[in-house]
C-alpha cells in the first residue's frame, strides 16, 4: 500500500473551491488569489490557514481516506 495525502479543496479564507495547477504543483483559489502547496500549506495570502488534509492510502484501485 502507498500512503498519500488527501487535501480537501476548500479554501480556508472564505470557502471557495481551489483548483489544482498540475504544472506549478499548487492549489490556486480564484476568489481572492490564495495559493497553497501540495501539502495544503499556505503559499500566498489572504488565506492564513492550511488546507485540511487527511491521511489516505492506495490499495489496488481504491483510495482509502481516513477521516
Ligand atoms: Fe480563497 Fe478568498 S476564498 S482566497
Residues 14/34, Cβ–Cβ less than 8 Å: no
Model confidence, pTM: 0.88
Which of 8, 17, 19, 29 should be mutated for ligand 1, with most atoms under 8 A from CB? 29
- Please tell me if the CB atom of residue 10 comes closer than 6 angstroms to any atom of ligand 1: no
Give residue 39's pLDDT. 94
What average pLDDT does this structure show over 16-20? 97
Does residue 32 contact residue 46 with C-beta atoms inside 8 Å? yes
pLDDT at 12: 98
> Residue 27 corresponds to which cell in the numbers above?
492549489
CA 64, distance to chain mean position in Å, is 16
Q: What pLDDT, on the 0 to 100 scale, is given for residue 1?
A: 67
39 burial via Cβ count (<10 Å: 0-12, 13-18, 19+): exposed
Amino acid at each position: 500500500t502507498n500512503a498519500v495525502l488527501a487535501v480537501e479543496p476548500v479554501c480556508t479564507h472564505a470557502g471557495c473551491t481551489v483548483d489544482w495547477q498540475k504544472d506549478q504543483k499548487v492549489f490556486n483559489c480564484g476568489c481572492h488569489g490564495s495559493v497553497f502547496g501540495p501539502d495544503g500549506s499556505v503559499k500566498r495570502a489572504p488565506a492564513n490557514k492550511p488546507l485540511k488534509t487527511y491521511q489516505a492510502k492506495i490499495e489496488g484501485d481504491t483510495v482509502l481516506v481516513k477521516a
